[in-house]
Amino acid sequence: MSDVTRAEIAVVAVAELFRGDGELVASPMGTVPSLGARLARATFEPDLLLSDGQAYLVDGDGTVEGWQPFRKMLDTIVPHGRRHVVMGANQVDRYGNQNISAIGEHDRPAKQLLGVRGAPGNTVNHRTSYWVPRHGRRVFVESVDVVAGVGYDNAAKAGAAAQRFHDVHRVVTNLGVFDFGGPDHVMRGLSLHPGVTEDEVAEATSFPVDCTGASTSRLPTAEELHLIRDVLDPAGMRDQEVPS
Amino acid sequence: MADIVSLADGVGELVHDGDVVALEGFTHLIPHAAGQEIIRQGRQDLTLVRMTPDIVYDQLIGAGCARKLIFSWGGNPGVGSLHRFRDAVQHAWPVPLEIEEHSHAGMANRYVAGASGLPFAVLRGYRGTDLPEHTATIKWITCPFTGEELAAVPAINPDVSIIHAQRADRAGNVQMWGLVGVQKEAVLAAGRSLVTVEEVVDELEPVAGQVVLPHWAVTAVAEAPRGAHPSYAQGYYERDNAYYKYWDSIGRDRDTFRTWVRDEVLAGRDSADAAGDKEGVR
């Protein structure tokens, strides 16, 4: 399978985020996260619940299977932990703090970003992962300008109320898969995508990342490749997010 | 009983310079026509409140109507940034824009508290984030039963809330269905409210999943067909996805935006019965 693209490896890596999740609401944001969630649902996580982004729960083909209007998310899903969000991040630091609010001073930022949206609640209420299509030093920074999604160090400082359901699970990038299982919950490499070296990751990250224990991200199976290419994304939207 | 008025009169009478104004509707039923009427009437120094400021507030902010924004996410859904919003925050153009940033849950809970007549709401979010440092309306409170420390956020009670719904009857009872956000709370929390509707009808036929706002909770109703465009009104028209992409090309540049305001908003100033001043955009 030498023709497997980096985007396809990333889709499978995102699908793997949901392995073992069972019957909970997957909330993927972005093309590759959406494809990953639908791939997981179509293969090894058949109980995963997918939203159409508005009011319905749908299966992988878009067939409606439930009523889940957005406002119910805050009533029933978020506070009970039955959700796994895969969000984007403009900045991430070694402890998993995430920024989508502003670059620079918050009051008069150099770059006003989208705003914290659900990150402050998501990160302390249920499992959250991040998707970074372009792994680089501008994203993986020494310290984020505004903590929107809560990382491990800040959750510990904030105490029990923040830690009870705090679960920053993984970061998937175009270079590899990372978690926060290092000493003091620092980010470490779990697997690097085929062809990616530890030096490449070190070069693209502003803080040290231990990749000594990292394996190689797995390739799609023949069935997964068929699903990605022919069923879930025949138009090849994935290649726009992660160019080969 | 709610008054049935023209859109121009509704905005002219209910929205004043310096007001705290909430335009709500999530993805669906976004009150765009009312937003543009506010621009047309040249309102200034507004504090705009909205969970998800999208194109509707990019237009108001770019036109210089706002001095402050209370929000949790500001983007062009499915497209990218709101360039007028960013220009205002980053470069104070056309006027400085103060921001009060909350999370989605924080905003929703603030509206619920406002609608319930309570001074504040309690939630578990915000712990560990930097927002309490930047946002003065997040404080900590200790639960008297468990001792748990939680976030408290003050009620939002807008001077005026504006929403769009599918229908109203002649008494001003309002009916909406499909995807709804915090419209009900926004109206109940507000001192005054204006509801734009696709049509005013003799009788509201029940619809599954409907939300009905009784006439005594609504100040005024104005008929504004296609008033949610480019968002959608279930049962009336679909979302105009191409417009959201088109907006990126308008909002990206100050001159293109000014031309758009002149040609597409101020040129629509044909309703001669509008109350209030009409100095237009500054």
Candidate from A54, A125, A150 with C-beta closest to B129: A150
Domain extent, residue A72, equals 6-241
C-beta neighbour count of B133 within 10 angstroms: 11
With contact defined as beta carbons under 8 Å apart, do B57 and B31 qualify? no
Nearest CB to A110: which of B27, B90, B180?
B90
Domain range B3-102+159-273, its CATH number among 3.40.1080.10, 1.20.810.10, 2.60.40.10, 2.40.37.10: 3.40.1080.10
* Inter-chain residue contact B72 with A118, CB threshold 8 Å: yes
pLDDT at B196: 98
The position carrying tokens 């998707």 is A131
Instruction: Write the pLDDT tens digit of every residue in A36-55.
Output: 999 999 999 999 999 887 77
B146 touches chain A (CB under 8 A): no
Identity at B194, one-letter amino acid code? L
**Would A45 be classed as within a structural domain?**
yes
- Please report whether residue A155 resides in a domain: yes
Q: Which of A71, A101, A125 has the CB atom closest to B124's CB atom?
A: A125
**In this predicted structure, what is the pLDDT of residue B117?**
92
Q: Looking at beta carbons, which residues of chain A come within 8 Å of B181?
A: 70-71
Cβ distance of A160 and B72 shorter than 8 Å? no
Q: What is chain A's Cα-based Rg?
A: 17
Contacting residues of B for A69, CB less than 8 Å apart: 179-180
Mean pLDDT of chain B: 93
Cβ–Cβ gap A108/B104 under 8 Å? no
Q: Do B180 and A101 touch (CB under 8 A)?
A: no
CA dist B211 and B164 (Å) reads: 12
**Run of H or E including A154:** helix A152-158
Residue-level pLDDT at A162: 84
Q: Which residue of B has its CA nearest to A151?
A: B128
- How many beta-carbon pairs under 8 angstroms link A with B? 123
Residues of chain A neighbouring B86 (CB-CB closer than 8 A): 111-112
Q: Which of B104, B123, B131, B137 to mutate to test the interface with A (most CBs of A within 10 A)?
A: B104
The residues pairing with B169 across neighbouring beta strands, listed in sequence order, are B201
A230, with CB counted inside 10 A (0-12, 13-18, 19+), is exposed
Strands A111-112 vs A102-103: parallel, antiparallel or unpaired? antiparallel
Q: Any chain B CB within 8 A of the CB of A88?
A: no
A 2-41: CB under 8 A from B: none
Spans in chain A with pLDDT lower than 70: 1-2, 70-71, 74-76
As a whole number, the mean pLDDT across chain A is 92
- Give the total number of structural domains in chain A: 1
> Is the minimum CB–CB distance between A183 and chain B shorter than 8 Å?
no
A interface test, pick of B130, B149, B176, B177 with most A CB neighbours within 10 Å: B130
B-chain residue closest to A119, CA distance: B103
Q: What parts of chain B have a pLDDT lower than 70? A: 268-282
The minimum CA-CA distance between B219 and chain A, rounded to whole Å, is: 25
| A118–B128 C-beta distance less than 8 A | no
Minimum-distance CB partner of B108 among A74, A108, A161: A74
Cβ distance B126 to A55 less than 8 Å, yes or no, reads no
* A30 chain-B contacts, CB cut-off 8 A: none
What does the domain layout of chain B look like in residue ranges?
Answer: 3-102+159-273
Contact yes or no for B149 and A159 at CB 8 A: yes
The dihedrals phi and psi of B280, each to the nearest 5 degrees, come to: 80, -165
CA distance A55 to A34: 16
| Ranges of H-type helices in chain B | 7-14, 32-40, 55-62, 83-91, 104-116, 131-134, 183-189, 241-251, 254-260
Work out the burial of residue B279: count CB atoms within 10 Å of its CB; fewer than 13 is exposed, 13-18 middle, 19 or more buried.
Answer: exposed
N-term to C-term CA, chain B:
36
Which residue of chain B is at minimal alpha-carbon distance from A148? Answer: B129
- Does residue A16 sit within a domain? yes
Contact yes or no for B128 and A125 at CB 8 A: no
Nearest CB among A108, A114, A155 relative to B73 is that of A114
